[in-house]
Chains A and B, each alone.
Chain A
Amino acid sequence: MNDMSVTCVDRERIFMDGSAKEWTALEAHAATCAECGEEVRAWKSMSVAASELKQEWETPYLWSKIERSLTERSAEKPWHVRGWLNLIERARLQWQTVAALVLVIIVTATVFVTRPWSARDQDPHFLQNSAMNEVERAEAAYQRAIDKLDAQARPQLEVPSPLMASYREKLLVLDNAIAELREQAGQNPANAYLRRQLLAMYQEKQETLQEVLETKR
């Protein structure tokens, strides 16, 4: 009987350091879940392969040779790399497994980094999730830059002159536009046109504040 509740979300943790009870529950879940089932089978294959590898090393000289080689390489590495290697050693992970994990990370990262651009090429009307994140990061960066510029330009903007009155008016107009676009982007978040317009308004506000500061100089 499986009295423990396990889902696909838990599988990676269980792969790494799951208890026997958790493994039993995961296998029970995998029997009815195609996505988990495939990964559990793959993981087991890797584990068997790794354990078989260890069993094959009958020659003590060979393992000593490899160990010595690893130690020498570890001595050549910077301290933080050595630290990672020691951690791996302490965790008793086979280096083949570690290599596979590193590969997993690299491939995943590559796919996620390149995906927004291909997604953009697919449809210019909408942003995909990762592109949305990029845009939101850009917006946040603009807001931070604008806040800093605004604090610097504020004393100059308060100067009672026709030029500063004009800049104040322009900034008010831009603020209204930004507010309107933000409201619309909240309702229609992945609409690429709205996001581009919003970024353009942020950029124009930043440039306007820079102009104000230049008049001071």
Chain B
Amino acid sequence: MTGETVIENWRTRTYRAVGLAIVLLIGATTTKANKNPDDQVQKSFEKTVTLSGSQGLSLDNRFGSVRVSGGSGHDVKITAAIRVQAKSKEDAQEFADKIQIDVQQSGDGVHVRTIYPDDQAKYVLRIQWKKASYSVDYDVTLPVDAPLWVRNDFGNVETSGVHGWARIENGHGAIDVKDAGETKITNAFGRIGLNNASGNSTIVNNNGSVDVANVKGTLDIKNRFGSIAATQIGGTTTISGGNGSVELTSVSGGATVTNTFGNVTARTINGNLNLHNSNAKVEVSDVTGNADLATTFGELDVERIGGTLSVEDNNGQVNAREIHGTASIKTSFGRIVATNLYKAANLVTGNGNIEANGVGGDLYAKTSFGSLDLRSIKGNLTVQNSNGAVTAANVSGDGSVDTSFGGVTLSGIGGKVRVDNQNGAIEVTTSSDSCKDISLKTSFSHIVVRIPSKGGYRVSARTSFGKISSELPITSTGTIGSDVLNGTIGNGACTLELANSNGSIEISKSR
């Protein structure tokens, strides 16, 4: 035998041996892989029951999905798929045969209940031994107006076109309800979706998102740990959230929202809005009624409120725009920025600046450590500040300012002016042609007052370590000195009291 023939034989036999091994192995493993479908069993259950009058359906399941849809006629058609997997097909079949679907009819309707073998104590040990796994999925059609009660534990629940009163309870699974009537939905761990409900709706969830759209009646949502979104709600809406965001849009009957640790957005609310959040941001817009808003440790942004606005924030900035009713805004450790408040406003912050532009009525503004910039005030202005500058312009009414350690600049003041400052300059320019009483007091800085030349004032000016000067002619009476001036400008109809310590006083014409 030649060397080539030996090699050829050797190769042939090697390939043969290896090929045989492959065939054997693939056969063995494929056989093993294909054994899996054999240990599963699926059984079908079907039953039709007729309802009469106001009878309804109750369905109680634990493991598997439940799908219910409204249909025509008076029949309830129940279809169920019972699935079992066990170590052998025989075991699976035996277990599947033990799962019962109990259908009872009584005066109030049809009651469907899944009875699993482990519901019966005598089977518990068998289940442990056999380790069967199982689920039962339902597909039910019932008369469209029939009441429905579904209880499930571990599986999704879907209903559609059920217009009668419906109560859906689940434990661990999603709930989707479409085209419903009056609904009450409860879940523990899973998403809840409700779309198109003609009646009132109540939703309670523990740990899962809630999404609601198009509810014609009232809506009441409670969710402990999960986001909430609701839109197109016809009735009054009440939302009690927990640690998730809340988004509410297009509500016709007013809304009440409480939340913690999650941002809240409310838009287009027809009616009053009562919103209390904490530890997160709040955004509100387009409320036709009154808005009562509160949050802590978060920014609050509000615009276009038809009624009164009440805001209470703790440690957060407040932005308010286009408020048609009176506005009361309080915050601590945050700035207030207000634009176009069409009625009177109270703006109070603990430690922050206040900016207001366009207030339709009286404005009361208070801060402790911050500056104030206030413009276009149609009513009277009252400012209380402890440590900061005050700038106000175009105030139709009186201006009253108390501050210290900051300059006060008032221009275009139409009414009386009173400024009590310490350690800061005062500059006041009146806008009216006629005189108004003016009283300005400060120390360690200068006072400048610009008054109409046609106005008449009884002047009383006093300073120390400074000089008094006047651009307008003054008829002096009483004591005259470099630090004291008493006299009259024009007819002396109004008072002009200027008091300073360690600073000059200057009286000039307003241009």
Contacts and interface: CB of A to CB of B under 8 A. Distances in A.
Contacts of A58: 1, 6
Interface string B1-19: 1010011011001101110
A173 B206 contact: yes
Contact size range, B = 35 or more
B2 to A, nearest CB: 9
20 contacts: A46-B21, A49-B17, A52-B13, A58-B1, A96-B17, A118-B33, A125-B135, A166-B242, A170-B207, A173-B207, A177-B189, A184-B63, A187-B118, A187-B128, A188-B63, A188-B135, A190-B85, A191-B63, A191-B133, A193-B63
A201 B279 contact: no
B187 to A, nearest CB: 12
Contacts of B127: 187
A181 B16 CA distance: 53
B133 A190 contact: yes
Contact of A107 (B25, B224, B225): B25
Interface in B347-396: none
Interface string A39-53: 100100110011011
Given A49-B17, A58-B6, A122-B37, 4 more contacts: A104-B25, A108-B25, A118-B33, A193-B63
Of the candidates A38, A184, A191, the one having the most CB atoms from chain B within 10 angstroms of its own CB is A191
A78 interface: no
A163 interface: yes
A50 B189 contact: no
Contact of A53 (B13, B26, B118, B206): B13
Contacts of A20: none
A126 B260 contact: no
A174 interface: yes
Of the candidates A39, A162, A174, the one having the most CB atoms from chain B within 10 angstroms of its own CB is A162
State the main secondary structure of chain A at its contact with B. Answer: helix
A184 B18 CA distance: 47
A188 B189 contact: no
A204 B64 CA distance: 22
A76 interface: no
Contacts of A83: none
B225 A100 contact: no
A107 B29 contact: yes
Contacts of A96: 14, 17-18
Interface of A: 38-39, 42, 45-46, 49-50, 52-53, 56-59, 61-62, 96-97, 99-100, 103-104, 107-108, 111-112, 115, 118-119, 122-123, 125-129, 162-163, 166, 170, 173-174, 177, 180-181, 184, 187-191, 193-194, 197, 201, 204
A99 B29 contact: no
Of the candidates A45, A61, A188, A189, the one having the most CB atoms from chain B within 10 angstroms of its own CB is A188
A177 B33 contact: no
Given A173-B207, A173-B225, A189-B133, A122 B36 contact: yes
Contacts of B173: 193, 197
Contact of A194 (B30, B37, B154): B154
A184 B83 contact: no
Contacts of B64: 193
B261 A197 contact: no
Contacts of A170: 207, 225, 243
Contacts of A50: 13, 17
Q: What 3 A-B pairs are tightest by C-beta distance, nearest first?
A: A190-B133, A111-B29, A100-B21
A42 B27 CA distance: 13
A126 B17 contact: no
B188 interface: yes
Contact of A123 (B21, B25, B40, B128): B40
B217 interface: no
Contact of B188 (A97, A123, A177): A177
B115 to A, nearest CB: 15
A62 B6 contact: yes
Of the candidates A62, A125, A173, A193, the one having the most CB atoms from chain B within 10 angstroms of its own CB is A125
Contacts of B21: 42, 46, 100, 103-104
B118 A56 contact: no
B26 A107 contact: yes
Contacts of B135: 125-126, 188, 191, 193
